[in-house]
C-alpha cells in the first residue's frame, strides 16, 4: 500500500477508510487527486463521528462537504461541513437531501448501512436526481 496524502489525512482524523479495517484511501486518492481543486460538493451518508467528512474537507479545499445520518446526535455544522438528519431507507429523506444540497454534487458516497439492498435502493433513488458527471461510490 502506498501512503498517499489522503491516507495521511485519514490517519490525522482517525478515519476508518484507512488502516487495518479498510484501505479505501489509496483508491480514492488515485481516483480523485487530479480533481481535488475542482470538486465543489461532496455528499456522504452515514457519517459516524464526522471523521471522513473532515478528511474530505481537507482533501477538497474548494468543496463544501455535506453529510446525512440517521442519528440526530451526529448532526453538526462546522467550517465547510453541514450534516443533516435522514434515513437511507426513506425516499423522502434522500430526495430532501438532494433538494437541500442541490443536484450539482461532484462526489456522492454511501457509507451508511453497508447492506447491498440498502446500497442499491439509495443508488436507484439518488442517481436520477444528480447532474450528469456526478461520481457515486
Query: Which grid cell sits at 2?
Result: 502506498
Confidence of residue 62 (pLDDT cuts 50, 70, 90): very high
Following DSSP, what letter does each residue of 77-88 receive, concatenated? Answer: EETTEEEEE--T
Full-model pTM: 0.95
- In 3D space, the residue among 53, 48, 55 whose CA is nearest the CA of residue 71 turns out to be 48
What gap in Å lies between CA 128 and CA 122, rounded to an integer? 11
* Helix or strand (DSSP H, E) at 107: strand 107-110
* 58 neighbors 9 (Cβ within 8 angstroms): yes
pLDDT of residue 1: 73
114 is annotated as an active-site residue: yes
Phi-psi region of 115 (alpha: psi -120 to 50; beta: other; left: phi over 0): beta
pLDDT of residue 20: 66
39-52, pLDDT tens digit by residue? 999 999 999 999 99
What is the average pLDDT score of the chain? 95
84-135, pLDDT tens digit by residue? 999 999 999 999 999 999 999 999 999 999 999 999 999 999 999 999 999 9
* pLDDT for 78 beyond 70: yes
Over residues 33-37, mean pLDDT: 98
Give residues with Cβ within 8 angstroms of 66, minimum separation 6: 41, 42, 43, 44, 81, 82, 83, 84, 97, 100, 101
Amino acid at each position: 500500500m502506498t501512503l498517499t496524502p489522503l491516507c495521511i489525512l485519514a490517519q490525522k482524523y482517525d478515519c476508518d477508510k484507512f488502516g487495518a479495517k479498510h484501505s479505501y484511501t489509496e483508491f480514492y486518492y488515485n481516483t480523485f487527486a487530479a480533481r481535488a481543486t475542482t470538486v465543489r460538493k461532496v455528499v456522504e451518508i452515514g457519517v459516524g463521528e464526522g471523521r471522513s467528512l473532515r478528511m474530505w474537507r481537507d482533501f477538497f479545499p474548494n468543496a463544501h462537504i455535506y453529510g446525512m445520518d440517521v442519528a440526530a446526535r451526529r448532526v453538526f455544522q462546522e467550517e465547510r461541513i453541514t450534516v443533516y438528519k435522514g434515513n437511507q431507507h426513506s425516499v423522502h429523506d434522500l430526495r430532501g437531501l438532494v433538494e437541500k444540497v442541490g443536484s450539482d454534487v461532484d462526489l456522492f458516497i454511501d457509507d451508511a448501512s453497508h447492506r447491498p439492498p440498502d446500497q442499491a435502493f439509495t443508488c436507484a433513488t439518488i442517481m436520477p436526481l444528480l447532474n450528469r458527471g456526478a461520481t457515486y461510490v
